[in-house]
Amino acid sequence: MFSVRGCGRWAVASLAKQHLRLARFCGDSAAPGTPHFDVVVIGGGHAGTEAAAAAARCGSRTLLLTHRVDTIGQMSCNPSFGGIGKGHLMREVDALDGLCSRVCDQSGVHYKVLNRRKGPAVWGLRAQIDRKLYKQNMQKEILNTPLLTVKEGAVEDLILTEPEPEHPGKCRVSGVVLGMYWASDLVVTIHNGRSSRLLGLLSQGDQCPFLWPQGPILVPQAMGALTLPPCTPQSLSLIGKPFPLSPSALWALPCIQTEVPPEDQLPCYLTHTNRRVDEIVLENLHLNSHVKETTRGPRYCPSIESKVLRFPNRLHQVWLEPEGMDSDLIYPQGLSMTLPAELQEKMLTCIRGLEKAKMIQPGYGVQYDYLDPRQIAPSLETHLVQRLFFAGQINGTTGYEEAAAQVRGYRNVTGVIAGINASLRVSRKPPFVISRTEGYIGVLIDDLTTLGTSEPYRMFTSRVEFRLSLRPDNADSRLTFRGYKEAGCVSQQRYERASWMKSSLEEGISVLKSIEFSSSKWKNLIPEASISTTRSLPVRALDVLKYEEVDMELLAKAVPDPLKKYTKCRELAARLKIEATYESAFFQQLQEIKEVQRDEALQLPRDLDYLSIRDVSLSQEVREKLHFSRPQTIGAASRIPGVTPAAIINLLRFVKTTQQRQAATNELPKTGQYLRNTDKLQEREL
C-alpha cells in the first residue's frame, strides 16, 4: 500500500488490484511518523553497496534496500577483481575510500600483476578472492557503517513531485513505495532490466519515459565450479608466482594487514582447449541460445562458442582459479557457455588436466536490459528525473569494477560516484565530477554519458588518452584530496597518509634532481647500469633511476647519505622509480592535458534548449543529438558522434558571447554603485 498526500489529507490505495502510480505530490517534508532518509539506494549488489557506503561517508542518512541482506557481497560469477584497465578503477575507488579494494585485501587468495612486461602505467592489478570471506567481510563493513541502515524489501514505485525550477528535468523523486520511505535523493543500482517492475515503470511512465536500447544482451557465465582430483594440477602450467609484495599494497593502505601472507597464497593453473572442444561447439550450435539472432552476446566477455566461431583452429586459454582457502572448488575462467549441461560436461573431460574433473554448476546465460546511459549526467543524475541517480549494470556496464566506480571495477565505480553525488545533492553542493584528464573513472563515465553503448561496456587502457599520467600508483594524488575536500568521502587517516606520501614524493624527487655526478663516476658507483661514459654533462640521480637495472635500493647503496631514508617505505621507493621513468613523457602530456582542460572549462548552460535557440547556427541533426545527450562542456559536446567541428565552433562562439553578455550585466550594478558613491563624495566636497 502507499499513501497519497495532498492538502493535509491522506488517501490510501491498494497495489494488489491495480497498479496506481504515485506521480504528483506537493511539499517536501515526510509525513509524521514516516521514516525519512537523505539518500535511498535500491539494490544491494556491488554498485549498491558502494553507493550506500559512499553516501553515508559523506554524512547523509542512507537507506540501502535489498531483497536479502544475506546476499550482500555475493559474487555472481568469477571470484576475482581487477585486471588490465580494471585494476586502475580499483585503485581509484580505493583512493575515494571505497569498500571493495579494502575488502579484497582482507579476502584474497592470489594476487598478480598483469601486463608486467609493459610499463607500470598499464599494469593490471588483479586479485583472486575467497568467495565466502569476501561476502562475510563486505557484510561486516556495510552493517557497521555509521548513518547507513539496511532493510529487506522490494520497491514497487517511485514518489515523484514537481521539479525544482532551477534544475532541468520533468519531475523530482522524493521517495519510494515499499511501506513508505521518504528520501531527498535516490540511487538505483538494479540491473535486472525489464524483469524489474520498477524499471518497467521508468520506461513506460508519462513523466519519465526513459529510453531502452533495442534488443536484450545475453551474457554467458562460466561453469559455477569444478572439483579436481589431487594429482590433476601437476599436469598443468602454474600461473607465475603470487604477487611478491604485501597484498595490502595492491589496493589499499600498506598499513592494513591482510589475512593471507604472500607465501600462503593459492596457486592458479593454466590449460587450453583443443580441436575436440571446437567440434563439440560446432556440432551443437543449434542448441546455443546466445548465438541465435534473437539475442546478442557481449564482445568483451565472449563465450567459448563465440571464440570458436570468431577464431577457428586456435587454442583458447582456460584459467583454473581456486574459489577459497577452505574450498576444493575451482572456477574455470574462459569456459563461459550456454550449451546444455550434458554437453558442457562432455566438453570439460576433453580438456587436458580436466579429464577427471566433476562439474558442480553448469554454465548459463544471463539476459538483461539497460537504460541508454546518454540520459544521465556525468554526476550520474538522470536528465529527466531530478535527484534520481543510476549506477551499475543499468547504465550498460559489466563487471564488478565498473559498477563500484560507477564500483566490482565498473559496477563499483559508478556506485561510489552516484553515492557521493546523491549526498552532495542533498546538501546543495556542486556535483563531484571526475574528468577524462583525472582518472579512468572519468573516462568510463564520459564514454557512457556522451557516446552511449550498444553492448556491455568494458574498460581498457586503450580507451584512455592520458595513460602515462593516470597510473595505478598515483590514484591517491589524483583523487584522494578532491574526495576529502570537495565530497567529504575520505577519512582523516587516508587523507593524512596521502598528504605524507605527496610531500615525501616531492621531497624525494627534489633530492634526486639535486645529486649530480659525471657519467664515469656513476658507472663506477653502479656498474650494473648501462650508463654511457661519453656524456660530457653531469648526470642527475633522477636520470640514473630511469635505467631499467636501477632501483632506489641500488641507488641508495651508491649514495647512502641523502637517499637511504627513501628506501624504508617500499611503496615510496617504488613510486619514486615510476616518477623517474615517466618524468619527460609526463611533462609533454601535461601540456596536452591543459589544452583539454581549457575546453572542459567552457561550461554549457544546463537549461539550454538546443531545439529552439536561434542565436547559433546548428543543423537539426546536431540539435537533436545535443538535446538528447545534454553535454555539460564544449569538450563533451565535441566527443558526441555526428556533432561536426563546424557545429562545435558555432557553439563555442555562442558560449563565449553569452559569457561576455553575462559579465557585462554583472558589471552594471557595480558601475551604478560606483557612480552613486562618486556623486555623494562630490556633494560632501562642495
Q: Would you state the cell numbers that stand for residue 548, as one nine-digit string?
A: 631499467
CATH of domain 217-365: 2.40.30.260
The confidence score (pLDDT) of residue 95 equals: 94
Give the highest mean pLDDT range of 6-20, 323-337, 416-430, 650-664: 416-430
Query: Radius of gyration (Cα) for the chain, nearest Å?
Result: 28
Beta strand 388-390 with 181-188: parallel, antiparallel or unpaired? parallel
Backbone angles phi, psi at 393, to 5 degrees: -65, -20
Which pLDDT band, with edges at 50, 70 and 90, does 674 fall under? very low
The answer to whether the Cα torsion of 626, 631, 632, 635 is positive or negative is: negative
Give the residue ranges of DSSP H helices in 221-274: 248-251
Give the highest mean pLDDT range of 117-121, 155-159, 233-237, 635-639: 117-121
Q: Is the pLDDT of residue 23 over 50?
A: no
Beta strand 171-177 with 157-161: parallel, antiparallel or unpaired? antiparallel
Could you tell me the CA-to-CA distances from 83 to 116, 436, 472, 515 in Å, in that order? 12, 20, 11, 38
The confidence score (pLDDT) of residue 27 equals: 34
Q: Is the pLDDT of residue 241 over 70?
A: no
Please count the other Cβ atoms lying within 10 Å of the Cβ belonging to residue 584: 11
- Give the neighbor-by-neighbor strand order of the sheet with 108-114: 80-82, 124-129, 108-114
The confidence score (pLDDT) of residue 199 equals: 54
Could you tell me the CA-to-CA distances from 683 to 97, 563, 674 in Å, in that order? 62, 71, 14
Which pLDDT band, with edges at 50, 70 and 90, does 573 fall under? very high
Q: Would you state the cell numbers that stand for residue 404, as one nine-digit string?
A: 563500484
Right CATH for 602-664 from 2.130.10.10, 2.102.10.10, 1.20.140.10, 1.10.150.570: 1.10.150.570
| CATH architecture for segment(s) 39-76+146-216+369-473 | 3-Layer(bba) Sandwich (3.50)
The proportion of the chain whose per-residue pLDDT surpasses 90, expressed as a percent, equals 31
The confidence score (pLDDT) of residue 55 equals: 95
Report the mean per-residue pLDDT for the chain.
78
Across the chain, which distance is largest between two alpha carbons, in Å?
A: 108
- Residues 6 or more apart from 607 whose CB is under 8 A from it? 168
The confidence score (pLDDT) of residue 92 equals: 94
Q: What is the pLDDT of residues 154-201, one digit of tens each?
A: 887 788 889 888 888 888 888 887 755 555 656 655 544 433 455 555
Give the highest mean pLDDT range of 307-311, 531-535, 562-566: 562-566
Three-class DSSP category at 158: strand
Q: Would you state the cell numbers that stand for residue 87, as one nine-digit string?
A: 585494476
Residue range(s) in the chain whose domain bears CATH number 2.40.30.260: 217-365
User: Cα 374 to the chain's mean position, in Å?
Assistant: 17
- CA dist 514 and 180 (Å) reads 65
Three-class DSSP category at 489: coil
Range with lowest mean pLDDT among 344-348, 404-408, 577-581, 649-653? 404-408
Q: Is the pLDDT of residue 553 over 90?
A: yes
**DSSP 8-class letter at 45:** S
The confidence score (pLDDT) of residue 198 equals: 56
Give the highest mean pLDDT range of 135-139, 256-260, 286-290, 462-466: 135-139
- CA dist 218 and 343 (Å) reads 20
Short-list 625, 632, 627, CA closest to 381:
632
- CA dist 152 and 597 (Å) reads 44
Backbone angles phi, psi at 237, to 5 degrees: -90, 130
The confidence score (pLDDT) of residue 278 equals: 93
- Contact indicator for 3, 31 with CB cutoff of 8 Å: yes
677 by Cβ neighbours in 10 Å (0-12 / 13-18 / 19+) ranks as exposed
Backbone angles phi, psi at 656, to 5 degrees: -65, -40
Which pLDDT band, with edges at 50, 70 and 90, does 677 fall under? low
**DSSP 8-class letter at 461:** G
Range with lowest mean pLDDT among 59-63, 286-290, 440-444? 286-290
Which pLDDT band, with edges at 50, 70 and 90, does 439 fall under? very high
The confidence score (pLDDT) of residue 372 equals: 84
Q: Would you state the cell numbers that stand for residue 192, as one nine-digit string?
A: 535486472
Q: Would you state the cell numbers that stand for residue 11, as one nine-digit string?
A: 488517501
- CA dist 636 and 650 (Å) reads 15
Q: Would you state the cell numbers that stand for residue 549, as one nine-digit string?
A: 637495472
Residue showing cell 562458442: 305
Q: What is the pLDDT of residues 525-543, one digit of tens each?
A: 998 888 888 877 899 999 9
- Contact indicator for 353, 235 with CB cutoff of 8 Å: yes
The confidence score (pLDDT) of residue 89 equals: 92
* Angle of helix 46-57 versus helix 131-143 axis, rounded to 10: 30
Backbone angles phi, psi at 348, to 5 degrees: -60, -45
- CA dist 553 and 564 (Å) reads 8
What is the helix (H) or strand (E) element at residue 299, kind and residue range?
none
Short-list 136, 87, 99, 77, CA closest to 326:
136
Short-list 394, 395, 392, CA closest to 403:
392
The answer to whether the Cα torsion of 186, 436, 191, 371 is positive or negative is: positive
The confidence score (pLDDT) of residue 513 equals: 94
**DSSP 8-class letter at 611:** T
The confidence score (pLDDT) of residue 298 equals: 56
- CA dist 263 and 496 (Å) reads 31
- Contact indicator for 604, 650 with CB cutoff of 8 Å: no
The angle at the Cα of 642, spanning 640 to 644, to the nearest 5 degrees, equals 95
Q: Is the pLDDT of residue 269 over 90?
A: no
Structure-model confidence comparison of residues 254 and 614, the more confident one? 614
Amino acid at 263: E
- Contact indicator for 430, 438 with CB cutoff of 8 Å: no
- Give the neighbor-by-neighbor strand order of the sheet with 358-361: 237-238, 269-272, 317-322, 329-333, 225-227, 358-361
Q: What is the pLDDT of residues 356-374, one digit of tens each?
A: 888 888 887 776 677 888 8
Q: Is the pLDDT of residue 570 over 80?
A: yes
- Contact indicator for 359, 335 with CB cutoff of 8 Å: no
Q: Region 213-241: what's the mean pLDDT?
A: 52
Give the residue ranges of DSSP H helices in 394-487: 400-404, 412-426, 440-446, 475, 481-482
- Contact indicator for 638, 648 with CB cutoff of 8 Å: yes
Short-list 641, 646, 511, 628, CA closest to 580:
511
Short-list 641, 470, 386, 521, CA closest to 123:
470
Length reported for the chain: 686
Q: What is the pLDDT of residues 380-404, one digit of tens each?
A: 999 888 899 988 888 877 654 444 4
Residue range(s) in the chain whose domain bears CATH number 1.10.150.570: 602-664
Short-list 445, 375, 376, CA closest to 410:
445
- CA dist 230 and 172 (Å) reads 59
Give the residue ranges of DSSP H helices in 178-321: 197-204, 248-251, 275-283, 304-310
- Residues 6 or more apart from 93 whose CB is under 8 A from it? 50, 100, 101, 401, 404, 405, 407, 409, 412, 413, 416, 441
Structure-model confidence comparison of residues 299 and 135, the more confident one? 135
- Contact indicator for 212, 395 with CB cutoff of 8 Å: no
The confidence score (pLDDT) of residue 594 equals: 83
Residue showing cell 584459467: 319
Structure-model confidence comparison of residues 332 and 2, the more confident one? 332
Q: Is the pLDDT of residue 583 over 50?
A: yes
Structure-model confidence comparison of residues 671 and 163, the more confident one? 163
Backbone angles phi, psi at 73, to 5 degrees: 85, 5
Residue range(s) in the chain whose domain bears CATH number 3.50.50.60: 39-76+146-216+369-473
Q: Is the pLDDT of residue 591 over 80?
A: yes
